[in-house]
Amino acid sequence: MNTVSTTRLALTTLLAGALAACGQAPVTPALASAMAPKPDVPREHLDAVMLGMGCFWGAERRMGALPGVIDVESGYANGEVPGTYSDVLNTERARKLGLTEKRNHAEVVKVVFDTRATNLGAVLAGFWENHDPTQGDRQGNDIGSNYRSAIYTHGDTQLRIAQATKSAFQTALAAEGYGAITTEIQPLTRYIAAEDYHQDYLVKNPDGYCGLGGTGVKFPADALAKLGGTVPTSSGPTAASAPANASPEATAARPARLVGADLDATRQLVVFEAADCAFCAKFRAEVSDGWQSPVAIVHTLDPREPEGWTLEKPLFATPTIVLFENGKEVSRYTGYNGDKARFWQWLGFRLLTEEQRRIAFDSGTERPFTGSHLDETRPGTFVDPISGAPLFRTDTKFESGTGWPSFFQPLPGAVTYHGELSLAGVMTEVRSASSGIHLGHVFHDGPPPTGKRYCINGNVLKFVPDEDVATETATTAEPVTGV
Phi, psi dihedral angles at 227 (to 5 degrees): -80, -40
Cis peptide before 319 (omega within 30 of 0): yes
* Pair 316, 213: CB distance under 8 Å: yes
Helix (H) or strand (E) holding 204: helix 201-204
Burial of 29 (0-12, 13-18, 19+ CB in 10 A): buried
* CA 335/CA 238 separation, integer angstroms: 35
**Helix (H), strand (E), coil (C) string for 99-128:** CCCCCCCEEEEEEEEECCCCCHHHHHHHHH
Is 55 a catalytic site residue? yes
* CA 288/CA 370 separation, integer angstroms: 33
Strand locations in 6-68 (E):
46-53
Single out the residue of 264, 176, 258, 202 nearest to residue 475, CA to CA: 264
Write the DSSP symbol of residue 254. P
Single out the residue of 183, 125, 180, 128 nearest to residue 151, CA to CA: 183
434 Cβ neighbours under 8 A, 6+ residues apart: 340, 344, 384, 387, 389, 414
Write the DSSP symbol of residue 275. T
Active-site hit among 22, 55, 280, 455? 55
* CA 139/CA 133 separation, integer angstroms: 8
Taking each helix axis from N to C end, the angle separating 221-228 and 155-175, rounded to the nearest 10 degrees, works out to 170
Helix (H) or strand (E) holding 11: helix 3-21
What single letter denotes the amino acid at residue 378? R
Angstrom CA distances, 193 to 12, 27, 76, 401, 455, stand at 10, 8, 6, 70, 60
Cis peptide before 449 (omega within 30 of 0): yes
Active site residues: 55
